[in-house]
Structures are given as C-alpha cells and as structure tokens.
Amino acid sequence: MNAYIFPGQGAQFVGMGLDLYENHALAQELFEKANDILGFSITDIMFEGTTEDLKQTKVTQPAIFLHSVILSKALGDNFKPDMVAGHSLGEFSALVANGTLNFEDGLKLVSQRALAMQKACELQSSTMAAVLGLDDEVVEKICGETEGIVVPANYNCPGQLVISGEVESVNSACEKMKEAGARRALLLPVGGAFHSPLMEPAREELAAAIEATNFSEPSCPIYQNVPTTAVTKADEIKTNLISQLTAPVKWTQSVQQMVKDGGKSFVEVGPGKVLQGLVRKIAPGTETSSAAL
C-alpha cells in the first residue's frame, strides 16, 4: 500500500515551490489563488524572501501547506494514496490530499491556526526542547515529576522526543533528562510551547473555525496525530484535529500502525526529507521517497 506523508513546521526553505509555479499551469493558478485568499503575496516570500521572513508563523505554516498540497495536485493521476498522514501542520495538507477538505478551506484553516498559535505564544513565555537517547517512558516520567507545565509534545521516532511547556519547567526537565542519561536535551528555536496545554487559547479559537468548515468523507484513511489509527469518518477527523493543538504528535505510533496495516512505500510530499528519515528509524527497511513531477 502507498502511504503519502506530509511535513510540518521546520521543513521550509527559501525558493520552495518556485519550480512548481514556473513549470505547471495548475500550480501557478493555485499559488495565485492562495495570494488572494491570504491577502498578501506569500509567493514573493516563498520564492524570493529571506529565511527570517519565511520563519514568521503566519507565513511558515501556509507556505509548507501550499508546497505540499499543490505538489500533490500537480501529480494528477500519479497521486494515488492508499493512506495518508501528516506531522502536526502536515495533517491539514493530508486532509486536502485525501479529499476531506477542499483547497480553499484547508488554506484558511491553516492560516487561522498559525495566527491563533502565534497569539497563544505571546500570552506566556514558553518553549520546546528535543530529547535524544532516552526511552519514551523515562521522558514521560520526568515531565510528570517536574514542577510547572512540561509535557511530551512530539514522539518523532524511537529515542527522539520533543518536550514542550513553560521555559523554567522545560529547562529543569532538560537537566533531569541529562542526569538520566539523555545523549542530548537542547532547547529548540521555536516561538512557544506547541502541542501542550499552553496552546489551549489557540485550540478554542481553531475549534470554532473547524466546526464551521465542511469536512467530506475521505477517499482513503488518514492516520491522525492524536488517535494514531486509521480514521475515515469526517466527524471523528474534526474532533481529532481540534485535539491536536494541545495533544502530543504521536508520529512514531502512527507510522508503526500504518506499517502494521500494510503501508509499504512512504512518499513524502512537500519540502525536505525529515519525515523519510524518521520513517526509516521507526520502521527500518521501509521504502521511502520524495514526491516529484
């Protein structure tokens, strides 16, 4: 079975999508439509902006979404997923790819998500940190024993877990992780504590937008970050998507389930190759590749 996977924040780079725009009429049409929907020229920033411009949350999330979704549409009949999944933001790209959301609604939700997350970040000083070389259970235990808010946020692959929360609590947890034998425990250059209880204001704001958006029955199952199992019901997809902002991204568990359900070939659609690397660590021997025209 063909599994198509969609990257999240951090995969962006200046120049992303330019080849699509220049060489594919449908891609050009969709990029221009995106500029109109967003109310600013995101293509100028994606194609010719600076790295700093592209790192703005209001730009980064729609940019990665656009690259992934427009590439999947440009593939035409060659895009035939049996199952899809996306890492955090990538879940929205996956939902357009399997027909749950249309292009316009997906982009609007991603833009609203980005702005809501940015507002939540500004309410309280918070951060994230990558922990390498510890079992998940040890990381979970240390987070639970640390004062303040600090939680597991991204289960990326065995031995690589990202934690999220209040700055002081994350720093304290990192020290304890190192004492427990972590190979590394380092702060990430992010604007806030994504996938933690501190994103509750953003979750509430996005929930209203998701509830007001039409979700169709998908053409193939999506393995969402929250339940990690195959989901095919529009109402369930909505519920899980709302939960995603404050719940951990269980990427390891999702990929394991996809393989268990018959996923043989994992194709990454969008910028970068991060997810391919994670899949190979989660399920060694699995075939991985990048989508290309």
The one-character DSSP state at 198 is G
Angle at 233 between CA 267 and CA 201, to 5 degrees: 85
Characterise 213 by phi-psi region: left (phi > 0), alpha (psi -120 to 50), beta (else): beta
Q: Are 56 and 117 in contact (CB under 8 A)?
A: no
Which one, of 172, 114, 177, lies nearest residue 146 by Cα? 172
Nearest Cα to 261, choosing from 222, 235, 225? Answer: 222
Residue 143 exposure: Cα atoms within 13 Å on the Cβ side: 25
Which residue in the list 68, 72, 88, 169 is annotated as catalytic?
88
Q: Reduce the DSSP state of residue 212 to 3 states and report it.
A: coil
Which of 24, 67, 87, 195 does the annotation list as catalytic?
A: 195
Nearest to 65 by CA among 125, 109, 131: 109
**Residue in 57, 16, 5 with CA at minimum distance from that of residue 271:** 16
C-alpha torsion angle, residues 4, 10, 13, 16 (rounded to 10): 30
Q: Which residues pair with 166 in a beta bridge?
A: 126
Active site residue 67: no
- Name 243's Cβ contacts closer than 8 Å, sequence gap at least 6: 203, 226
End-to-end CA distance of the chain: 20
Query: Catalytic annotation on 290?
Result: no
Q: If you write DSSP's letter for every residue of 264-291 in order, what string do you get?
A: -EEEE-SS-SHHHHHHHHHSTT-EEEE-
Q: Report strand pairing: 265-268 vs 160-166.
A: unpaired
3-state secondary structure at position 79? coil
Q: Which residues are catalytic?
A: 88, 195
